[in-house]
Structure 1
Amino acid sequence: MHKFKRVISMMLCLCMLGSAAACEQTDTGGKNNGEEDLQEEEWANLEIINPEDYEIDGVVSISPLKASTMNDGIFQGWGTSLCWWANRVGYSDELAQQTADLFFGDDGLRLNIMRYNIGGGDDPTHNHITRTDSAVPGWLVWDEEAQDYVYDYDADKNQLNVLERCVEAAGDNAIVEVFSNSPPYFMTVSGCSSGGFDSNVNNLKDECYEDFAEYLAHVTNYIQNEMGIEVTSVSPMNEPNTNFWGANSPKQEGCHFDEGESQSRIIELTYEALQQYDLPNVMVVASDETSTELQINEYNAYSDKAKEYLGRINTHTYNPTKIGELGQLARDEGFLMWMSEVDGNGIAGTNAGEMGAGLWLGEKIINDINALDPAAWVLWQVIDKHISEEGYNGRQDSGMIDITQGFWGTAVADHDNQDVILTQKYYSFGQFTRYIRPGMTIIQCGGDSLAAYNPETKELVVVALNKSDKDRYMNYDLSQMESVGRRVQAIRTSGTIEDGEHWAQLEDFGAYEDGFVAELKANSITTFIVSGVELGNVTFEKVSMDGATVTGSAAWNNGDDTFDKVIDGDPNTFFDGLAEGWVEIDLGKKLKFDTLGFAPRAGYESRMTGGVFYGSNNGKDWKEIYTVKFSPASGINYIKLDKEQNYRYIRYEVPEGRAEGANEDYLCNIAEIELYREVE
């Protein structure tokens, strides 16, 4: 039997990571190493919850093999755009400080990334924008005496007021990015900063590319060298290759840039302008596209020089088609990537009430990070709605939201009472942002969960959703870790803003030898912190399938995404099987393995939920090996089986019908099947 060894030495990698960038200490009441607050004699008093003592609803395997390699495994953090809410609240020092503390402070969300919007500023004779917050002032204004456009460094004082306070609240972890939605109106073809007369056509004048790049560099230089705020990056475009940005829009600024030459040109010129201002450490990033599929197309269309000048790819995930392919492209090409903007008014859960919006956000975070593997995740706006009897600049505010439904943002600014109204979506966001900190390493996993490892404190953080209206017990399998400590801390958000849980510290409990059992309250988000975790050195041999033959059911529409794709070694190809579909591998002879590897179809991970793997030695009598009970992570999932298997035939199939609450039948969608054997 021919085999090749796949050797994963995660502990070495993560020790190096820890020395390069120390993780911020998780504030959960513990000391530096996460366990010093418990004396040895107290360990015996922690109740150990064993999986055999409960009716387990599912198993989630957390493997060091799924540790992120993006940015050398260093997660950079969480953030929000300051556009547009900071423009609206920044007139008030009281609201500016409240928001800085609530969103970036240690007692709040502990965000650390701020995306400051360099406004283009619209023609002062225009009044088509109806929102009170989205008419962001430009830095260049017409001077009658000079008969030219000159810089007004107080024009955007509201947003800058908030920026300064947020940087201070975030402390040493603060990361500031500046971005543009549109050039100044007088540099555009339409003379309007909300877009072009034809929203499918470039709206920056051909002769103004250098002027616009200089504008971005000038503002960046002012923020960094005059205000003393370090700027990490500049993004010159926002969702550029869309038809969203039309002249005289009632909503916001925007500008179309075609993929290819137009986008490459502004990337190159912005980079060169930053060099002219002696800002070599400020990177240019792009394209902040609305769709991950469009972002793939745009990256591939960049000029070689633009790719050389780019410091990072920014993508939005409003339309996450081919999200897994973009993540794979980042790994293949070796570029840094952020998920730099998303939000929405969706809900999740089952009769979840006020938790519905928060569960939707949690689901979005988990799906994005597990599929895309970004180095940072940034919410669009933490505040999207405002309350004010007088309104602002002659416009009326939208007023209070219905917090039992879906809504954009996480909080509402009450200008009449100079207060910020929080929601369960705010506290749901904090279940991630407060405990998965900059410097940690993300570990992809399934089961509506997200994991991260702190190499400094030896703590594993797991954030878990329960979107059911019934309590659930999940077994988190940590058997691939070298060691697991005894103490498990739990923090939970559930219920309503009035009488629910808000980062409620639950009673500590004990892990068992190979993992922990998580009690997940109905319609809740819970963060678990497991002490004393060593990832260790995990060494597997991949069992060769050379000479194996594959059979299966028909592909959708009798297309090319056929069953043979499951052993072609490429996670970007997949079997697009139908309801009651199946795929069967004849290995040619009995082979031993103790770890099952499988990859779902990227972007359709949930379609593997309910799928079952079987083994047989005659192709007729089948024994169940593993059932996929929850949506798996993107890419290869590694499942350590209870015992060594020895089979000639491997079969994967989906059951008849559809899962409870699903809107489609079970579909046989799977990208890869692999077998491994652990090496002692």
Structure 2
Amino acid sequence: MVPSLQTVGHILVTALAIIPFAFADLTTTIDPSSNWGTWEGWGTSLAWWAATFGTRDDLADIFFTTQTTNLNGVSLPGLGFNIARYNAGASSWNSINGTSMVVSPKMIPSRQIEGFWIDWASTSPSSASWNWSADSAQRAMLSKARSRGANILELFSNSPMWWMCNNHNPSGSDDGSSDNLQSWNYQSHAVYMATVAKYFADHWSTTFTSVDPFNEPSANWWNGKTGTQEGCHFDVSTQATVLNYLRAELDSRGLSSTVISASDESYYDQAAKTLQNLGSTALGKIARVNVHGYQYGSGRRDSVRSLATQYSKKLWQSEYGEGDATGRDLASNLLLDLRWLQPTAWVYWQALDGGGWGLVDADNDKKTIGQPTQKYFVLAQFARHVKPGMRILDGGSDYATAAYDAATKKLVIVAVNWGSAQYLNFDLSRFKTAGVNGAVVKRWATQIGASTGKRYVAASDTYIRGTKFWSYFEKEMVQTFEVEGVVL
């Protein structure tokens, strides 16, 4: 009997399904012998958005849990962040010894964070008077994050309190490139940060894992005449002095387990230069190197990684953001970070903001919240699957990253197809056990730039074929795979 066309087609499809590499246009091989560190987590900084929206439970749910939460009619998969960075503000509107804060004419109100220290009665820090009611919304979000499982908290500063600044302007020096912290207040800035950390521990049951006294200190754009936010330039020698004071002030308050991170430089190349010039004494006070990702596709990420390894420091990408709402830039730079910087944590800057910067579109000054941007769903592919405690592996290419959970024997792979629509093949042949032949590989898909649909969907399963599996990717599609039963 002559088989029907339908029968022939079924036979061909079945045969092709079991032939390795049948449709694979690109192949990446995961390296089980690699170890790029134990993942600590994902997070966000709470300034400035939380200072406006910090009392909202729905926002705490979408960022700090993995549960599905409705926001403005959209069901969002929670990102499951476990890191929150709290900003100790630099502004207050009281007069101190007859002087008042100077405000940049271009200051954006929502970017001015009220600090805790409101009076300085003498040269002794112990005689200062404090206002601990400041910035209650940001503190509320910090509390909500903790109650939802955030277990790594960092205290950071954009600028010393205004009265410590040479021009009393917490937006920066008048030229933007000179130190704005008065030399006689080097220790005062350390006292401020340590006292805030101590008060949070004693009165709000909040222990900061780390304290970072700087934010992009080598930058030349912290200008009091044109600044739109708080910021301060610190020469490297000044950074070193403050770091030495800060360690002593934390220790004197019983906070020896709270580590210091630094220096939150804006660019990778700046971070490398700062590390090379801080000096051994100041370096000895730092437990972790923090760096920002604003050099994007440029800069020597590998140099920062090399120096962090040389000095035996942990390394975080502690702030990243840009105005591409599609998620394309986020995916590209995140993959570059994971491959070349090799941080053990990755923190997004403004979870809510306008102009494409936010994971959710919002106006922090008008206090309005819109829809999630597509970058929210792109980040979900990474943050919901690469979990704290996993070992980061070499994904074998610039378009893939991998993480391994030894307790559950689960391998996670996140990959992006930058080319035309094609199949990507994943080779697990170097593992002792590459899963079970024929076993299901769960996958999730997000289309970069999509406005509706293909945001974060559980796609049809693929399967292990011997020591490999593959999946079809549309152009600029992100997919995440979870492979069970894998042994290094």
Q: Is the 8 A contact 2:20 2:468 kept in 1?
A: no
Q: 1 CA distance for matches of 2:247 and 2:86?
A: 18
Residue of structure 1 equivalent to 2:351 = 382
Q: 1 CA distance for matches of 2:412 and 2:19?
A: 19
Residue of structure 2 equivalent to 1:359 = 328
1:289 and 2:265 matched: yes
Q: Is the 8 A contact 1:175 1:231 kept in 2?
A: yes
Residue of structure 1 equivalent to 2:452 = 499
CA RMSD of aligned residues (A): 2.3
Q: 1 CA distance for matches of 2:276 and 2:317?
A: 18
Q: Is the 8 A contact 1:48 1:510 kept in 2?
A: no
Residue of structure 2 equivalent to 1:206 = 183
Secondary structure at the aligned position of 2:257 is classed as coil
Percent identical among aligned pairs is 31
Instruction: Tell me the TM-score normalized by structure 2.
Output: 0.86
Q: 1 CA distance for matches of 2:65 and 2:359?
A: 16
Summarize deviations over 1:187-206 as a string: whole Å, max 9, x none: 01111000012222111111
Q: Is the 8 A contact 2:190 2:246 kept in 1?
A: yes
Q: Which stretch shows the higher mean deviation, 490-499 or 129-138? A: 490-499
Residue of structure 1 equivalent to 2:4 = none
Residue of structure 2 equivalent to 1:410 = 359
Instruction: Tell me the TM-score normalized by structure 1.
Output: 0.63
Aligned pairs for 1:476-491 (under 5 A) are 476-485=426-435, 486-491=439-444
Aligned pairs for 1:207-606 (under 5 A) are 207-259=184-236, 261-319=237-295, 320-346=298-324, 357-385=326-354, 401=355, 407-413=356-362, 419=369, 421-445=371-395, 446-468=397-419, 470-485=420-435, 486-494=439-447, 499-535=452-488
Q: Is the 8 A contact 1:59 1:475 kept in 2?
A: yes
Secondary structure at the aligned position of 1:294 is classed as helix
Q: 1 CA distance for matches of 2:279 and 2:313?
A: 15
Residue of structure 2 equivalent to 1:88 = 52
Residue of structure 1 equivalent to 2:70 = none
1:61 and 2:37 matched: no
Secondary structure at the aligned position of 1:500 is classed as coil
Summarize deviations over 1:353-394 as a string: whole Å, max 9, x none: xxx721221111110111011111111111122xxxxxxxxx
Q: Is the 8 A contact 1:120 1:183 kept in 2?
A: yes
Q: Is the 8 A contact 2:411 2:483 kept in 1?
A: yes
1:483 CA drift (Å): 0.8
Q: 2 CA distance for matches of 1:133 and 1:465?
A: 35
Residue type of the partner of 1:116?
Y
1:58 CA drift (Å): 0.8
Change (3 A) 1:495 1:317: closer
Change (3 A) 1:495 1:66: closer
Secondary structure at the aligned position of 1:361 is classed as helix
Secondary structure at the aligned position of 2:289 is classed as strand
1:512 CA drift (Å): 1.3
Structure with the greater alpha carbon radius of gyration: 1
1:125 CA drift (Å): 5.6
Residue of structure 2 equivalent to 1:153 = 132
Residue of structure 2 equivalent to 1:18 = none
Residue of structure 1 equivalent to 2:141 = 162
Residue of structure 1 equivalent to 2:3 = none
Residue of structure 2 aligned with 1:76, choices 33, 36, 40: 40
Q: 2 CA distance for matches of 1:304 and 1:230?
A: 28
Q: Which stretch shows the higher mean deviation, 301-310 or 111-120? A: 301-310
1:178 and 2:178 matched: no
Q: Is the 8 A contact 1:383 1:411 kept in 2?
A: yes
Residue type of the partner of 2:87?
N
Secondary structure at the aligned position of 2:105 is classed as coil
Residue of structure 1 equivalent to 2:89 = 119
Residue type of the partner of 1:268?
N
Residue type of the partner of 2:255?
L
Residue type of the partner of 1:115?
R
Residue of structure 1 equivalent to 2:6 = none
1:477 CA drift (Å): 1.1
Residue type of the partner of 1:62?
I
Secondary structure at the aligned position of 1:65 is classed as coil
Q: Is the 8 A contact 2:301 2:340 kept in 1?
A: yes
Q: 2 CA distance for matches of 1:424 and 1:242?
A: 30
1:124 CA drift (Å): 4.7
Residue of structure 1 equivalent to 2:9 = none
- Contiguous gaps of at least 5 residues in structure 2: 1-13, 68-77, 93-99, 122-126
Aligned pairs for 1:135-150 (under 5 A) are 135-142=112-119, 150=129
Residue type of the partner of 1:451?
A
Change (3 A) 1:110 1:184: same
Summarize deviations over 1:500-549 as a string: whole Å, max 9, x none: 123211222211112211221333211011111111xxxxxxxxxxxxxx
Change (3 A) 1:47 1:150: farther
Q: 2 CA distance for matches of 1:185 and 1:193?
A: 5
1:116 CA drift (Å): 0.5
1:247 CA drift (Å): 1.1
Q: How many residues are matched? A: 446
Q: 2 CA distance for matches of 1:59 and 1:278?
A: 53
1:497 CA drift (Å): 6.2
Q: Is the 8 A contact 1:47 1:510 kept in 2?
A: no
Q: Is the 8 A contact 1:263 1:302 kept in 2?
A: yes
Secondary structure at the aligned position of 1:345 is classed as coil
Q: 2 CA distance for matches of 1:283 and 1:58?
A: 43
- Contiguous gaps of at least 5 residues in structure 1: 1-45, 347-355, 386-400, 402-406, 536-680
Summarize deviations over 1:77-121 as a string: whole Å, max 9, x none: 11111111111213xx3xx21211111112200011111100111
Q: Is the 8 A contact 2:426 2:469 kept in 1?
A: yes
Secondary structure at the aligned position of 1:121 is classed as coil
Aligned pairs for 1:101-112 (under 5 A) are 101-107=61-67, 108-112=78-82
